[in-house]
Chains A and B, each alone.
Chain A
């Protein structure tokens, strides 16, 4: 493996300044403490020489231990200095990086042991080179193990942060997915209504052109109200109520006496923001699952009020009621997900039985200004 050394200060491969790769003070501090702990551990070997206790008094042994600890600290300090100055160097490939780390440990150990030999010369009958080799080899093993632990810990932390990042992205993606699915569902409701209405208009123009014209006009009014809504995240309550009104007008032509409705929305609440098509979803549900199954039809009432700084909008019908309310689950679940995405815990959708019959659905959203 070729060592491709680069001096700090050059730009790295990925273009970021190499200065960012220099060791930060906290990690330098932590590394120093860890190195000191290992040196302390190694120095305790002195205390495990039982034969000393027979010859030396305890204070001398403790003094010898301190001496030994200082010796080890000199070498350990050299290794630490060599390692920390080699760490910011940029090399190609992880093998070269490990090699560089081990080489820096060996060099530091060699320098430290040579310093020690200058301090206390080796007896002439012992090979100094052999002693140096043995001691450096020992430091290499200790340093190599410590480096392996350090590398694994760093990689684990890196992987953990990546996993965290990935989890965050997933949550965002799922939120967007809810939006996209809701859009798809919204678009699925549209064509049904569209198709049925136009088929009605077509038929009416042949039997009762006046009524057909009225229905077509109502439907165009509905589309005029619905068009801007379909592309927004938030509209006002007034726009939503107008949309529901236009929708009910279209159906009124088709259903005649079977549909009666009443809107009870105070004018001063009109400017409050409201999630788009939320009211339409509830109104469509009330028609589709409440009134349509009944031959005699029923009535729908839309009411809005403010309670405890919350806007409550109710859609109640006198239709078939909860037990036959099958098939609307997906629409309501999507509406719930949408409310949660827009307002979190602060918004809710409650479905309950209406007296004497039918369903009352209530949307509660927090009050905010339109710009907010």
Chain B
């Protein structure tokens, strides 16, 4: 995920190249599995076929992934939208395949004699025909992989949103508990007070001195209760 390491760091580009390599390798292995029974060559040629396919597809994959990385860098720190990602995949597939297949066919094959798939199959090599097939495969598999990447990022973002929401809910819950506790602590039971005052009223008629003492006690008690209320953080 690009959020874990900053865009344009060495690690970022290594990750992009790695995912491109993985994409190219998967396609190469699939292609190998498909062509190996068709080619029906002696066993030692199998390794050569696999190596040739890996060379051909891994370059496509890496160039596609690096193109997506370039788009991401341009958009940083925001992450790519779905439309931009699709554009990056289309451009990366077409440009990457054109560049890499030209390099493989015109430089590696012509200059250094390295075989491409059609040399193994025994068909005349017309690399412009193969390019279209490469582009198609990169578009489909690269597009699917990009869709996985994009949905994974969206999922991670949503998890972040969920986490924040849970956190603020927890905070509210705690604050509510505190507020309820404060309300409870601040309360002087009105029933008891009411009874005491009624008693006081009657007592002042019968025993004014006793009533005076009771009232003085009540005031002392209330002073204590008031101090406690004041100590409660008022919001």
Contact = CB atoms under 8 A, between A and B. Distances in A.
A141 B129 CA distance: 25
A127 interface: yes
Contacts of B215: 198, 201-202, 205
Interface residues of A, number: 71
A125 interface: yes
Given A141-B141, A162-B162, A166-B166, A185 B234 contact: yes
Given A42-B140, A216-B204, A167 B190 contact: no
B37 A195 contact: no
Contact of B147 (A149, A169, A190): A149
Given A177-B179, A216-B200, A156 B172 contact: no
B165 A156 contact: no
A224 B141 contact: no
A5 interface: no
B76 interface: no
Interface in B30-51: 30, 33-34, 36-38, 40
B30 A184 contact: no
Given A152-B154, A213-B204, A330 B33 contact: no
Nearest to B229: A188
Interface stretch (B53-61, B83-91, B105-113, B180-188): B180-188
B222 A191 contact: yes
Interface residues of B, number: 70
Interface string B188-199: 101101100110
B197 A184 contact: no
Nearest to B163: A163
A341 to B, nearest CB: 14
Nearest to A157: B158
Interface string A132-147: 0111011001100110
A227 interface: yes
Contacts of A149: 144, 147-148, 151
Interface stretch (A18-26, A44-52, A113-121): A44-52
A1 B125 CA distance: 48
A172 B154 CA distance: 28
A13 to B, nearest CB: 23
B188 A156 contact: no
A142 B176 contact: no
A223 B190 contact: yes
Contact of A152 (B141, B152, B176, B226): B152
A170 interface: yes
B75 interface: no
Given A48-B132, A125-B40, 4 more contacts: A50-B132, A152-B151, A177-B172, A194-B222
12 contacts: A45-B136, A134-B37, A148-B151, A149-B144, A152-B155, A170-B168, A170-B169, A177-B172, A181-B183, A198-B215, A212-B204, A213-B201
